[in-house]
């Protein structure tokens, strides 16, 4: 049985630098989504809080790419063939969602947007599943593949670095065998700092090895109908955060005023921060209480707060007795 992920090379595998530069100059593909959000054959991870609108935003992006239209504030140079592999909604419900969004575009995306209606049940982490996605991408002549969400494409422990590294290798094989860029919807950790982006994703250490760009969605305030987009690029220039607002009548996001001011990166959490957090709690607190207080006052990640507590204990800044942390006498 032939392996869909294998490719026969019709040209030499070893080329001189001069040949490589000539080939690259002649191809010079434009970025699929500007500014640098999705390079050709790149991998974009999209993540955010539960129910923040990740899948809706990615569906907006997929339709915009298929139509070659800038609908949500990201310049798209040309129409692209997009294959959506989504695993959360039954196909009729998902098609109804696309049909509502389609009203804003007319028929512009109809020939370029494709849906894998048999994606559910196939695991990217298994050889048979990987072959399914490669075959579907080739049949669709896809230039972009959407996987929504990542956790439905595998049966691995996302807290296991080796398992996630193996899954990332499957993503790379899918990209290389199909020749397409990947847009991957993924979940973030429960507690993330204000300035975390790529490191906020579950299995982030493995994802950092393969991702070209990261898009993080958060809700600045439960009272506001807006979401904030923050970006991290491997190669492109940094971009300021943006605010978007969802129109429930059309299911399209649009700009919601000027982008929020970008705050200066938070300094390292110091021993004095730990001591101050404990003082504010009455000089005594349980581990989880102290950790959460440090996260709230310094806007750091859960991991950073944990390391700060450990270092403060080692240096005698705070002491632990019977499950309680307190200042030394």
Q: State pLDDT tens for residues 302-314.
A: 778 888 898 888 8
Distance of CA 79 to the CA centre of its chain: 22
Q: What are phi and psi of 160, to 5 degrees?
A: -95, 115
- For position 277, what pLDDT does the model report? 86
Cis ω before 149 (30° cut-off from 0): yes
| For residue 7, pLDDT beyond 70 | no
- Note whether 264 and 70 are within 8 A (CB): no
- For position 195, what pLDDT does the model report? 60
* Helix 287-298 / helix 302-314 crossing angle, nearest 10 deg: 120
Q: State pLDDT tens for residues 12-57.
A: 789 899 887 777 665 555 788 888 889 999 999 999 988 899 999 9
pTM: 0.73
- For position 194, what pLDDT does the model report? 60
Mean of the per-residue pLDDT values for the chain? Answer: 86
Structure tokens at 128: 């048979």
Homologous superfamily of domain range 30-255: P-loop containing nucleotide triphosphate hydrolases (3.40.50.300)
Domain ranges of the chain: 30-255, 271-326
């Amino acid at each position: 049985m032939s392996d869909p992920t294998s490719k026969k090379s019709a040209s030499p595998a070893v080329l001189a630098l001069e040949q490589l530069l000539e080939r690259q100059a002649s191809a010079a593909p434009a970025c699929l989504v500007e500014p640098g959000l999705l390079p050709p054959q790149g991998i974009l991870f999209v993540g955010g809080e539960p129910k923040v609108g990740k899948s809706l935003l990615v569906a907006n992006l997929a339709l915009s790419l298929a139509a070659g239209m800038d609908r949500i504030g990201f310049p798209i140079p040309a129409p692209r063939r997009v294959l959506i592999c989504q695993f959360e909604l039954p196909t009729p419900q998902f098609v109804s969602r696309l049909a509502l969004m389609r009203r804003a575009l007319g028929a512009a995306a109809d020939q370029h947007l494709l849906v894998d209606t048999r994606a559910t049940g196939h695991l990217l982490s298994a050889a048979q599943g990987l072959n399914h996605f490669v075959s579907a991408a080739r049949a669709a002549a896809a230039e972009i593949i959407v996987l929504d969400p990542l956790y439905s494409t595998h049966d691995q422990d996302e807290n296991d670095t080796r398992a996630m590294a193996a899954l990332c290798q499957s993503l790379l094989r899918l990209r290389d065998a199909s020749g397409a860029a990947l847009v991957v919807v993924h979940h973030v950790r429960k507690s993330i700092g204000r300035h975390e982006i790529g490191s906020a994703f579950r299995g982030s250490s493995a994802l950092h090895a393969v991702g070209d760009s990261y898009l993080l969605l958060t809700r600045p305030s439960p009272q506001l109908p807006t979401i904030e987009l923050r970006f991290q690029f491997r190669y492109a220039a940094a971009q300021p955060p943006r605010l978007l607002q969802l129109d429930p009548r059309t299911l399209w996001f649009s700009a919601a005023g000027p982008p929020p001011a970008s705050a200066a990166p938070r300094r390292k959490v110091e021993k004095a921060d730990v001591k101050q957090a404990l003082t504010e709690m009455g000089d005594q607190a349980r581990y989880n209480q102290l950790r959460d207080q440090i996260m709230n006052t310094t806007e750091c990640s859960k991991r950073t707060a944990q390391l700060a507590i450990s270092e403060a204990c080692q240096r005698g800044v705070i002491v632990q007795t019977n499950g309680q942390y307190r200042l030394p006498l």
